[in-house]
Amino acid sequence: MPANPFATPDSGTVATLEPAQSWRVVVLDDPVNLMDYVVMVFRKTLGFNEETARRHMLEVHNSGRSTVWHGSREGAENTAFALQQWHLSAIIEPDENY
């Protein structure tokens, strides 16, 4: 017998929504790309101004990594892929801070 499309759910059924997990894109240091090139890629791909792009580039250079983007998993994957197309080492990680 087919299910009734107008039936209401059981009163004991409780739906809970979990908050969407946030993700971050991290650029890792590499021995290949020049500093000015990394700044240019940040400006073109992420829309950073010169100062922000240089700050992140220096963080990558000095600390070995810099978080350049955070948001949804799909957005993180797209952003990391775009940076990788410019031959930067970019990874995504879960972001517990957001």
Model pTM above 0.85: no
Q: State the sign of the Cα–Cα–Cα–Cα dihedral 96, 58, 44, 33.
A: negative
How high is the pLDDT of residue 91?
A: 98
| DSSP calls for 5-58 | TTPPPPTT-----PPPPPEEEEEEP-SSS-HHHHHHHIIIII---HHHHHHHHH
Report how far residue 44's alpha carbon sits from residue 88's, in angstroms, rounded to the nearest whole number. Answer: 13
Task: Print pLDDT tens along the chain (98 aa).
Answer: 556 666 566 666 666 555 678 999 999 999 999 999 999 999 999 999 999 999 999 999 999 999 999 999 999 999 999 999 999 999 999 998 76
> What is the structure's pLDDT at 7?
59
For the chain, domains (ranges, CATH) are 23-94 (3.30.1390.10)
| pLDDT score at 20 | 72
Structure tokens of 92?
Answer: 């995504």
